[in-house]
Chains A and B, each alone.
Chain A
């Protein structure tokens, strides 16, 4: 295994595992604010109880997000030192701002939010929930700004010694790519939050335990779910795709498996890319749709991989193709499921319709897969560049960290993260098993100390 591949897997593995947690943190933070708002406005204790239940899951999830997040900031230096050295003047900035503007805020108000409910007024407690939500969403924004600059570098110049620096701070923060990607990504996080909330709700209703709380979870989860699933595709996914087709045409061609430039290009729904022979095996194609999606007309010409020099094809291409198709396929399924569920909710039949409750209960892993696949599409799509069009990935990694040392720490992370996964599942299952209807006094008996 070459050092380059190893460092790519190292970052890819740790970031993939890390992002399982923040996506729920960000989605759930919003939904908890919704629950707390309803509780406050209607003066309805059931919604407060629901919020308290999700705060317990939020606490464990947040902890895992924190501990797996710290290695990410350091890996730019440890595993990608040449990249860090040349671009630190640009992307170090949003990373530092994440710490200064988001982490301090979150760490200060999380403790108040999780354990201060009885010591402060309901309004103050709502405010602490809101600030935790703001903190987590600011954090997401700075990470997206960092990534967007790697996808679509703007507002920079190269100094005589070869390092990059920002020429316009606002230009960096308002990178169009960042704004589009942020909307798409946050909508994805809300999808994860809604599906998780729906799954627990459906479980309680199907089990006929805590079904009053379960119905609240389903109501909030389905409404948030149907909105976020639709915005995920239109407008955010749609705009993102068009913008990408304009600025990263090679990535789009590879995602779609379009080896040859075509007028009236069709969209491949299913099929296996054969990179050696440059064709799709067993294809299921809908004619003209790709041209229409990108250019709004079925006759437009879409650039294929044949117009891209071979050494600029994204690598590994089949993984990119599958990641994109998994994301898009699951996204379509999410809309179908949530629209049906929302319709039944509106007609007042959802809680008795078992054939919808079952998929709602079982589908919660799918948004995690879709979000991961979406990020793989973005990150593999950017290859072979670490900064699109400017710096190759093969020029970014730490040359002096041997593959033996890299493998050692990769295995270390894999082992440790396996244990973390087991701990997480056990602890969250216990919270779900115990249920939301714990008396306020019993809750005090479990003084966790997250701050």
Chain B
């Protein structure tokens, strides 16, 4: 049961990163690829009808984490208190940036909400990357299962880490570039002409940056978590994960050149998925490792809810996911194709 729920939560987090990831990426690229007011509006149009649904993965995933692993939810959310609150504020700002821009037609109003959209998207990406890096590095868990981390201390790994240190900042920068790339590839699929051209240029540069940062992140991860390869060594077949990561990146670069745009975007989805899967594989069965004493690790076993809760959960979760997938198919089908400024909020 623990194994199943570990992967259910992982799947929901992956869905969140892959879906909302391109919304965030579009936000990061917004000031760079869109020049005119029409283009800026058009770029927001590309995520308009879908961003809200994409964000639901965060809520549904958070709720699932809450009831399947209450200890993890309680410990991590209170321990990363300040970072989480900032994430909440950024989510609020991003939603306003997307939705309120077109309510009043004034340059100042547009510029303000564009700025809000960009800043919140960029910082969200950095915080998400840093969050994942924190989980990999581990936190100073006490024997009662709790910890509290300030935003930063001395920027080093060690007995008193902060949420931000050199390692987690690498994670944040990697997430920033990877999601920006993801957004660029999405924009290429959804736009035409000048916008598409600029998105192509951005994707080309970003894909190289992601390649370099991915290569840097591996030794950095081993420095932060020396036992990070243990699971891989026990089951060498798992080395397929890093191979797929590299193949996906190669695919992004190759298909960007040949203008197979949806394939390039698909490879980016695979890349993000496998990066998360790679981290999950390295951690399992730990959910949140302790940075000072492995006896205090929060493991699947320790955090798992009662058997009846999980049994019932499996039934409604399966049913609910079928519905969710159906809604997503409906919405994305209605929204397929390039966006334009004519017609309602949907594309054509």
| Interface residues, chain A, with chain B CB atoms under 8 Å away | 60, 63, 66-68, 70-71, 73-74, 76-79, 81-82, 84-93, 95-101, 103-105, 107-112, 114-119, 157, 159, 163-167, 169, 398-402, 405, 408-409, 412, 416, 420, 423, 427, 430, 444, 446-451
Contacts and interface: CB of A to CB of B under 8 A. Distances in A.
Contacts of B343: 118-119, 444
Given A448-B102, A449-B102, A400 B331 contact: no
A211 B98 CA distance: 34
Interface stretch (B84-92, B240-248, B275-283): B84-92
Contacts, number: 255
B306 interface: yes
Contact of A85 (B52, B70, B81): B70
Contact of A76 (B66, B96, B102, B305): B66
B45 A71 contact: no
A165 B304 CA distance: 11
A166 B68 CA distance: 12
B106 interface: no
Nearest to B50: A451
Contact of B309 (A90, A116, A451): A90
Interface string B77-106: 111011011001101100110111011100
A100 B78 contact: no
A111 B313 CA distance: 29
B296 interface: no
Given A67-B96, A92-B70, A450 B345 contact: yes
A105 B323 contact: yes
A3 to B, nearest CB: 12
Contacts of A157: 306
A101 B320 contact: yes
A81 B88 CA distance: 17
B328 interface: yes
Nearest to B304: A89
Given A105-B323, A111-B345, A400-B146, 18 more contacts: A67-B91, A70-B92, A71-B92, A77-B84, A78-B84, A84-B77, A87-B70, A89-B306, A96-B63, A96-B67, A97-B320, A100-B316, A104-B324, A119-B344, A163-B71, A165-B305, A412-B85, A449-B45
B78 A400 contact: yes
DSSP class of A's interface residues: helix, strand, loop or mixed? helix
Contact of B70 (A114, A163, A398, A423): A163
B78 A401 contact: yes
Contact of B102 (A63, A103, A105, A447): A447
Contacts of A116: 334, 344, 346
A88 B346 contact: no
B216 interface: no
B148 interface: yes
Nearest to A98: B63
13 contacts: A66-B52, A66-B95, A67-B91, A70-B58, A76-B66, A76-B77, A95-B66, A96-B67, A116-B344, A116-B346, A118-B343, A165-B307, A451-B50
B91 A70 contact: yes
Contacts of B95: 63, 66-67
Closest 3 CB pairs of A and B: A88-B70, A92-B67, A77-B77
A97 B91 CA distance: 21
B100 A427 contact: yes
A188 to B, nearest CB: 24
A77 B309 contact: no
Interface string B40-59: 01001101111111011011
Given A67-B95, A104-B53, A166 B331 contact: no
B290 to A, nearest CB: 15
A110 B81 contact: no
Contacts of A119: 343-344, 346
B60 A99 contact: yes
Contact of A448 (B52, B345, B346): B345
A116 to B, nearest CB: 6
From A85, A401, A416, name the one whose CB has the most chain B CB atoms within 10 angstroms: A85
Contacts of A74: 62, 77, 84, 88
Contacts of B92: 67-68, 70-71, 416, 420
Contact of B52 (A60, A107, A402): A107
Contact of A77 (B73, B100, B346): B73
A68 B92 CA distance: 7
B76 interface: yes
Contact of A405 (B77, B82, B88): B82
A107 B48 CA distance: 11
B309 A409 contact: no
Contacts of B79: 400
Nearest to B328: A108
Contact of B60 (A71, A96, A401): A96
B327 interface: yes
A111 B91 contact: no
Most B Cβ at <10 Å: residue of A68, A74, A108, A163: A108
Contacts of B239: none
Contacts of B345: 111, 114-115, 447-451
Contact of A444 (B81, B91, B317, B344): B344
B327 A451 contact: no
Contacts of A87: 70
B324 A166 contact: no
A82 B74 contact: yes
A338 to B, nearest CB: 33
Nearest to B66: A92
B102 A398 contact: no
A96 B73 CA distance: 13
B75 interface: yes
B147 interface: yes
B80 to A, nearest CB: 8
A166 B70 contact: no
B108 interface: no
